[in-house]
């Protein structure tokens, strides 16, 4: 597909729309070559921190759900990073033509590639009334952003953590303390006797 080309999968409410995102969510970006480099390096560091956090959760025998949700965020971050790192080197520009794979020279250097987005769900289209604050008389589309599978993984992981956060904290409180020397669980009477 060339940039901007669409395939209507289910009428006008589920569309494969090929676009490239040069920056962050909702098309925001840091300007200039160094802005893109900074963003790519920041993504790599953030993904490393998330991956390390997932590793510590596994070592602490945290609940499986929390590990899965953090892993979704980690996998989504890595997916977008791979686009940023390699996409510009292995493809030509796709403006008004289909990109070529493995050209002599790609459209961007290492860490300067764009993230490919493709899922578009303009489920509701309408018009704000003139009295509506900020957007009066403007057209609106819900859901306007075009996103990819990696974005979906990140969003799903974050939403699940928000929805189930009270459950995770309760699990932490209910976990029994373990004696570092013996490996046995400590209960209240054991702790009181140890202190006496």
Active site residues: 117, 151
Q: Tokens for 128? A: 């704000």
Query: Residue by residue, what is the 3-state secondary structure of 98-126?
Result: CCCECCCCCCCCCCCCCEEEEEECCCEEE
Cα–Cα nearest to 4, from 17, 15, 16: 17
**Residue 107: CB atoms within 10 Å:** 19
Rounded to an integer, what is the distance from CA 129 to the centroid of its chain? 34
């Amino acid at each position: 597909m060339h940039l901007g080309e669409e395939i209507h999968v289910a009428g006008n409410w589920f569309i494969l729309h090929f676009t490239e995102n040069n920056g962050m969510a909702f098309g925001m970006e840091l300007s200039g070559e160094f802005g893109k480099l900074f963003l790519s390096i920041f993504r790599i560091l953030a993904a490393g921190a998330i991956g390390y956090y997932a590793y510590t959760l596994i070592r602490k025998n945290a609940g499986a759900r929390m590990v899965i949700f953090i892993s979704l965020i980690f996998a989504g971050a890595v997916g977008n990073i791979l686009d940023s790192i390699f996409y510009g080197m292995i493809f030509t520009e796709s403006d008004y033509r289909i990109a070529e794979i493995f050209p002599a020279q790609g459209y961007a250097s290492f860490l300067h590639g764009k993230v490919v987005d493709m899922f578009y769900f303009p489920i509701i289209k309408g018009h704000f009334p003139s009295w509506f604050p900020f957007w009066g008389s403007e057209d609106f589309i819900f859901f306007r952003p075009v996103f990819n599978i990696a974005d979906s993984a990140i969003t799903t992981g974050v939403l699940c953590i928000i929805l189930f956060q009270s459950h995770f904290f309760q699990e932490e409180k209910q976990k029994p303390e373990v004696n570092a020397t013996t490996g046995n669980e400590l209960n209240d009477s054991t702790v009181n006797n140890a202190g006496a």
